Structure 1
Amino acid sequence: MIQRFIELGEGYGDIYELCELAKVNKERIHQAFIFSSTKDDIKYFSIAIALKPVNTANFFPIYICREGIVETQKESKRLSIFKEALNEIAIQPVTVDIKHSSIYVDVNLYYQYIIGILRLNNLIPPLQ
């Protein structure tokens, strides 16, 4: 099974697009994630949804808005939009603490790192 991240942007439009993907594909959602990372003592959040493969396809997509949400005193509007959309379709996101992407030379290495963490914690299926 191919497990791959599909990166959206980090703006409001991208967050709304991710939320719409979740609503339209609510039967296919395997899991929703909120990834938190820290860089220079500032906490960043990424949001993602993992979708089950379609029919006999061996493709397990994980749509992500990477590190576009910065922690503030009150919850970010972007984070609350994501949580509200998931609440509408009765999905509870899993929060995972990870390293910041700036540690990695290549974004593909970063995504392999996250896939490894998700597999080890049984949050996504193992390779078949």
Structure 2
Amino acid sequence: MIQQFIELGQGYGDVFELCELMDTNKARIHRAFLFTSQKEGKTYASLAIALQPAQESKFMPIYICREGIPYSEEKPSQRLEIFKQASEQVNQQIHYLEVKHSSNFTETTLFYQYLIGILRLNHYIPAMHAL
């Protein structure tokens, strides 16, 4: 099974696009994620959804809006609220994970490999050899 992150963007429109992907692919949603990370004393959130492979494919896309949302449990961002509402509408529990910030990696590709490793290790996505 090949898992790959597909980066959307960091703005409001990108979160709406992610929510639309959830709505139009309800039957394919594997899991929804909210990753938090620290940079220069501030916490940022990334929103993501993993979809089941389409038909006979062995490709699992993971759509992500990376680190563009300031995160606070006391005063949630409107973008986080929109994502939470969309998740509820498609009956998906959001899995919260604290991860390293992407700025800790020399390339975004390495950051995404790191995330895939964490998701596999915690059995949030299937192992590489699984169908």
TM-score (norm 1): 0.98
Superposed CA deviations along residues 35-82 of structure 1, whole A, max 9, x for unmatched, are 000011100000000000011111100000000110245110000000
Where do 5+ consecutive residues of structure 2 fail to align?
none
Give the whole-Å Cα distance in 1 for the aligned partners of 2:64 and 2:71: 18
Residue 7 of structure 2 corresponds to 7
What is the root-mean-square deviation of aligned Cα atoms in Å?
0.7
Residue 88 of structure 2 corresponds to 87
Q: Is it true that 1:100 corresponds to 2:82 in the alignment?
A: no
Q: Mean Cα displacement is larger for which, 66-75 or 105-114? A: 66-75
CA contact (8 A) 2:35 2:45 kept: yes
Q: Is it true that 1:127 corresponds to 2:98 in the alignment?
A: no
Give the whole-Å Cα distance in 1 for the aligned partners of 2:71 and 2:14: 18
Give the whole-Å Cα distance in 1 for the aligned partners of 2:61 and 2:89: 22
Give the whole-Å Cα distance in 2 for the aligned partners of 1:26 and 1:93: 14
Where do 5+ consecutive residues of structure 1 fail to align?
none
Among the aligned pairs, what percent are the same residue? 55
Q: What pairs up with 1:11-50 in 2 under 5 angstroms?
A: 11-50=11-50
Q: Mean Cα displacement is larger for which, 38-47 or 65-74? A: 65-74
Give the whole-Å Cα distance in 2 for the aligned partners of 1:71 and 1:121: 23
* TM superposition outliers: structure 1 runs of 4+ over 6 Å: none
Give the whole-Å Cα distance in 1 for the aligned partners of 2:54 and 2:104: 34
